Amino acid sequence: MRTWHEIRRFPFAVRLLLVNQLGVNIGFYLLVPYLATHLTENLGMSAALVGVVLGVRNLSQQGLFIIGGSASDRLGARGVIIAGCALRTVGFGLFALGDGLAVLLAASGLSGLAGALFNPAVRAYLAQEAGERKAEAFALFNVFATTGALIGPLLGSALLLVDFRTSALTAAGIFAVLTVAQALVLPARGVEASGGGVLGDWREVLGNRAFLAFALAMVGMFTLENQLYLLLPAGAREATGWDGAAGLVFVVGTLANLALQLRITTALKSRGDRGRWIATGLAVMGLAFLPPALGAGAAPSGWFDAVPVLLGALLLYLGIMVASPFVMELIPRFGRPELTGTYFGIFYVVSGVAAAVGNAVVGRAMDAGQGTDRGWLPWVCCAVFGLVSATGIAWLHRLGALPATPAPASPAPADARSSA
């Protein structure tokens, strides 16, 4: 009830973007986790070609975030969000309708470009509309995103009982509905000129050393978040000997997120600087990988063996809940409001590339520990990533390199709040 009450206090545009993110994650996760299996088992592609198809999506998204951010600043976030959802519709539709390599590469590229467009644009729009309540807005954003990430795979697994084409068309249909909804009801907002060219905007953001240091320090958060889809599900399956145990990781996280995210953000917002809580959240994320490390490599003997992995998943989600809303709140404060989208775009490029390196390290550690008495190796590697990132943020906070925490806003009159 409290979450619903908080949602109603935000402007209509914010509420619409929250629902949009729920739909985006449902559509994405009902298809993408099963794409590799479709390419290998249904289409008979080699592992190398599968890697190329999936890599095109990742590269086009991570490498082009800066384009989406700049477009948001110069053309308006609304139009970029609509364009991104429309491109994702086309991309997922191509996965359903085409089996040739050229079509699959086009589908993968368009899907990645779509994410590069609407991800920074949505966050820029949300930051601008939320005003001084950015932290709460991004906390709710996480709730809707996490819920969508749970519903998506469940729906996808059910649709795959029919066939992959049905799943892909359903995902494309969801993005088509989102495209129409944004076009019809998302309010248009004026665009303030940045006063220079696109390259000048990029130079200004890349010349902000404090911002770049912050983005690089956040490598731990993105690397460890990705383990929700790699190391933790693998650990749950290994601990129990049951493939379905991987789903328990997402159930635990979603229930915790629904119950605690808004409470945690509200409680911490007025108790200390943002840098302090971001560092704390990163430290908790790192420590989350120590319980699973204790039982790693042991032969499965029952459901009880999954407890350390589920405890680790819960701690990881708690760390994300502490840090993530304040990270999203801080990014626009590093620079001018006219460059909010560019800051988000470059942040995701820098941290995404760094996290890709981190994921490669974790993957190598998983290979090195598999079948040996060093099963703890990838878990400890993740713990180190989290603690190093926490130390980096704490150091930046101590140096005063992070934007100042805004003063608490005076409560608005009851009639003003209800009119939103």
pLDDT the model gives residue 131: 86
* pLDDT for residue 420: 32
Q: Name which residue leads in pLDDT, 126 or 364.
A: 126
pLDDT at 298: 61
| pLDDT at residue 119, as a whole number | 93
In whole angstroms, give the CA distance from residue 3 to residue 21: 16
**pLDDT tier at 415, thresholds 50, 70, 90:** very low
Helical residues (DSSP H) of 76-100, grouped into ranges? 77-97
User: In whole angstroms, what is the distance from residue 123 CA to residue 5 CA?
Assistant: 22
Residue-level pLDDT at 189 = 82
Looking at residue 419, what is its pLDDT? 30
Residue 320: CA count within 13 A, CB half-sphere:
26
pLDDT digits (tens, 9 = 90+) for 212-232: 999 999 989 989 998 887 888
Q: Among 21-25, 170-174, 220-224, 227-231, where is mean pLDDT lowest?
A: 227-231
Q: 3-17, 111-125, 406-420 — which is least confidently predicted?
A: 406-420
pLDDT tens readout for residues 288-305 = 999 999 877 666 566 677
Is pLDDT above 80 for 315? Answer: yes
pLDDT of 299 reads: 61
Across the range 88-108, mean pLDDT stands at 92
Half-sphere exposure of 100 (CA within 13 A, CB side): 3
CA end-to-end distance (rounded Å), the chain: 18
Q: Which amino acid type is present at position 21? A: Q
What 3-state class would DSSP assign to 394?
A: helix
**Contact (Cβ atoms closer than 8 angstroms) between residue 214 and residue 350:** no
CA–chain centroid gap for 42, Å, is: 29
Q: Which string of b and e fits 8-31 if b means at least 16 CB within 10 Å?
A: eebeebbbbbbebbbbbbbbbbbb
Whole-angstrom CA distances from 242 to 80, 229, 237, 246, 319 are 42, 16, 5, 8, 27
Instruction: Give how far Cα 271 sits from Cα of 61, 266, 276, 329, Å.
Output: 36, 9, 10, 15
pLDDT exceeds cutoff 80 at 80: yes
- The owner of tokens 């009159």 is 413
Instruction: With beta carbons less than 8 A apart as the criterion, state whether 140 and 262 touch.
Output: yes
pLDDT in tens, 324-365: 999 999 999 999 999 999 999 999 998 878 777 888 888 888
Chain centroid, CA 161 distance in Å: 28
Is there a contact between 351 and 82 (Cβ–Cβ < 8 Å)? Answer: no
Check whether 181 has a pLDDT greater than 80: yes
- Min mean pLDDT across 84-93, 122-131, 225-234 is at 225-234
What percent of the chain is modeled with pLDDT above 70?
93
- pTM (2 decimals)? 0.88
Whole-number pLDDT of residue 62? 80
Question: What pLDDT score does 233 carry?
Answer: 87
- Among 15-29, 131-145, 208-222, 346-360, the minimum mean pLDDT is found in 346-360
List all residues 6 or more positions away from 219 whose beta carbon is below 8 Å from its beta carbon.
Answer: 351, 354, 355, 357, 358, 385, 389
Question: What's the pLDDT score for residue 301?
Answer: 60
Rounded to an integer, the average pLDDT of 174-194 is 89
What's the mean per-residue pLDDT of the chain? 88
